[in-house]
A and B are shown apart, each in its own frame.
Chain A
Amino acid sequence: MLHEWIPRELAFLDAHVPTLFLAFLVAAVAIWLLDKWLAAWNLYDLVWYPALLRVALFFGLFSVFGLMVY
């Protein structure tokens, strides 16, 4: 499985950074892009609580990345 391949810590300039942090950043950027796209196409009109959707999407994505690592 993936988590056998991905290390749990990465060396960034000789400092050990948890891979989860990287996953967090990637998820944040991905959600930000998705959010821009959703807003530009007025898709948020179809949603009852956009902020909740965004946060939920973020946590979903972040969890997926997290499960890849662990």
Chain B
Amino acid sequence: MQRINQGARLAVECMQQAGADWYRQDFPLIGYLFKYLLAAFLALWVALKMEMDQPATALLTVVIVMHFRSGMVMTKSYYRLIGTVIGILFSMLLVAWFAQDRFPFFIAAALWIGLCTAGSLVYRNFQSYGFVLAGYTLCIVGLPATLTPWHTFQIASTRLSEIGVGLLSAMLVSELILPQRLWQNIQELVRGKFRDFSLLLGAGAPAGLNQPFLKFMQDLYQLESFRASVQFETDDARVHSTTINQLNVRFMAVSTTYVVFQRLVQRLQAQGRSREADALLALMQPLAEAVLIDGRPASDPQELARLQQAVTDFQLGFTAFFSQQLQALASQPDVNRLELETGAALLQRLANELAAYLQTYVLLVANLRAYKVDSREFTADKLQMHIDWLPVTIAATRGALTLLILAAIWMTIDWPSGILAMTLGVITSTLFAASPAPTATIRQFSVGVLLGIALVYVSNVFWLTAAHDYVMLCIVIAPAILLTAWLSARPPTALVGAGLGIAYFLMVGFNQALGDNPVKYFNDSIALMIALAVSGIMFSLTDYAASPWAKARVLAQLRQLVVDACRNSSMTSAEFEMRARDLIQRSGNVHRPQDADSVRMVEALCATLEIGHAVIALRVVATDLSAQPRKLLQHTLGLIAHYYKQPGQKNQQQALQWLDHFLGWLQGGEYDQALAAWQAQPLTTQLHFIRLVIAAETSASPHPVLAQEAAYAA
């Protein structure tokens, strides 16, 4: 009897566990499917009730803006609305100007699409979405209006109302029913980043730096993308937008300093100076020990408070600890004191930045209500953009050409479904402009479109003919909506879902009249496929990001950034850092952490950050100096810039010789009249650090691609 009881209890526990798992993992997805259906049905009902021309447009809008997270739906809807309004205004202008002649009309339209494609590439996140929609709206309003210009205004206002209905339904449903908040994601991401960084810091001397750094970078941009949507989120997250921004900026600083420090240690080890390297690691040891509590990162508020205290203690006791270490090493022969001082300066910076990061982190995860960072107190720039105009121009030309090619086909063969083809062509060329691997993206999207075409056939021919009222109509479209929702909720098949939803609701047959029209169906399907083929070919012809030339260009731009840091006296270190990171992020080469290319890019990024920060620090020191040493420093910066502009043995030697000369002058004590000792000290360590970095560039030959490019040029 007892055994049966035990068995029963075990079974109940198992069931409870399974139920909890199901509730946590699968229930949100089912809820999402339900919400999706509800939003679509609501939009359909309102659109039918108001007797709009194309209820399918409202449905398509729902499909486009629905997202798992409620805040994302708001953001998408907001930008969708802006994009649509701008697109409609431009369509009306275009029809007003060029309704009588199609050539100037299409040329102006192609320019507009080019502009939208460029915009979608320049801006991040959902802002880029607004541009996609501005282009797409031209196709659904401007192109039909060319056939009947006197109906332009009516077409425009109906489309706008339909889209408005779709947006409102999507927003209402996702806000009110089982809302999924971004705040949980943000918290998870922030905690995960802290955990990873603590483990890395606690490890002392980690084996690989590039992969964790890459991971950090992806997290940073992920967090920034969440933060961008937080503005429209309606819970706590919005209030803490500035705090999240501050956390991002501070995390960026501390992770960079850590990487720079570890690279210094690795370089010393590679040069066979393990005594200095070990001493530096020993200096960092208290920090590494404080970060991990019993081998795991601090999690609850008490542990975090203890960690903060430990970092403060480390900061306060550092000078004493350092001189103690120096004394211990003094007995050993040929220890380079300067290298230790350089490392110690970096460590001090690391501790300061870690303390700042911890402060914000604690605010965000532990004392949420007690205090929030006010946007007036914290005026760090948002993540700065570094825009490379070449890929943007290529994408814009591609978008414009796709439209022109499809328009040319439309005009030459008097194609009934030309407008549909151009619509899809414009959607694909603007939507996937920023994709790192556009050909694969298009392929996935095409699978979705084919699925959609097949489903439309079944719907139009068999089901719609039997649908006699609203409920029946809902039942007919339910399979397509559920499939779209399910596919787009899973990241690996999101594009298939998008393709399916877009194709289905572009073609489904209840716009003007219910039912099927086989000729129109086949025309439309062929049009969609031709559009996909044209834009696929255009993408594969102009796949800029995949070419080795693009990678060489990114590396060259990184070097140019260092040159800018040397020459442009207004560039701050935060700005430099953000631009360098944005450059790498946009190059699209850092999405696969296992990839050799990604690692090489991050390696180049680390090298750039290292030298760039040192150069900027040098420039900051230079502002307080008297005329003579300042002139010397200017000369140094000029030589470094020259070397980074034209990397080569000769320029490197020149820079190194000058640095040796300068360092000799500083250490020889001749600077007494020109400089105070407290000024000379940071100057010396900074210069020495730069010398180390530049000297290391030959031995490792860090930019093979660049060398290859140079070989081509020669």
Contact = CB atoms under 8 A, between A and B. Distances in A.
Contacts of A50: 234-235
Contacts of A40: 239
Contacts of A52: 176
B153 interface: yes
B176 A55 contact: yes
B369 interface: yes
Interface in A16-46: 35, 39-40, 42, 44
Given A35-B234, A39-B238, A39-B239, A51 B369 contact: no
B175 interface: yes
A39 B238 CA distance: 8
Contact of A54 (B153, B234, B238, B369): B234
A50 to B, nearest CB: 6
Interface in B147-163: 153, 157
Contacts of B179: 51
Interface majority SS (helix, strand, loop, mixed), chain A: helix
B526 interface: no
B37 to A, nearest CB: 19
A51 B70 CA distance: 11
Contacts of B70: 51
Contacts of A42: 239, 369
A30 B582 CA distance: 37
A51 B153 contact: no
Given A15-B153, A40-B239, A55 B234 contact: no
B684 to A, nearest CB: 50
Interface in B222-270: 234-235, 238-239
B175 A55 contact: yes
B239 A51 contact: no
Nearest to A44: B235
Contacts of A51: 70, 175-176, 179, 234
A42 B369 CA distance: 9
A35 B70 CA distance: 16
Centre residue among A35, A44, A51, A54 by max chain B CB count within 10 A = A51
A20 B267 CA distance: 70
B710 interface: no
B458 interface: no
Which size class do A's interface residues fall under? 10 to 19
Interface string B145-187: 0000000010001000000000000001001100100000000
A40 B239 CA distance: 7
A45 to B, nearest CB: 8
A29 to B, nearest CB: 13
A39 B176 CA distance: 17
A54 B369 CA distance: 22
Nearest to A50: B234
Nearest to B70: A51
A51 B234 CA distance: 8
A57 to B, nearest CB: 12
Nearest to B157: A15
Contacts of A55: 172, 175-176
Interface in B291-350: none
Nearest to A15: B153
B81 to A, nearest CB: 11
Contacts of B239: 39-40, 42
A55 B235 CA distance: 14
A17 B69 CA distance: 34
A43 B117 CA distance: 42
Nearest to B171: A55
Nearest to B168: A24
Interface string A39-68: 110101000001110110000000000000
Contacts of B153: 15
Nearest to B177: A51
B327 to A, nearest CB: 54
A70 B157 CA distance: 23
Contacts of B157: 15
Interface of A: 15, 35, 39-40, 42, 44, 50-52, 54-55
Interface of B: 70, 153, 157, 172, 175-176, 179, 234-235, 238-239, 369
Closest 4 CB pairs of A and B: A51-B175, A51-B176, A39-B239, A51-B179
23 contacts: A15-B153, A15-B157, A35-B234, A39-B234, A39-B238, A39-B239, A40-B239, A42-B239, A42-B369, A44-B235, A50-B234, A50-B235, A51-B70, A51-B175, A51-B176, A51-B179, A51-B234, A52-B176, A54-B175, A54-B234, A55-B172, A55-B175, A55-B176
Given A15-B157, A54-B234, A55-B175, 17 more contacts: A15-B153, A35-B234, A39-B238, A39-B239, A40-B239, A42-B369, A44-B235, A50-B234, A50-B235, A51-B70, A51-B175, A51-B176, A51-B179, A51-B234, A52-B176, A55-B172, A55-B176
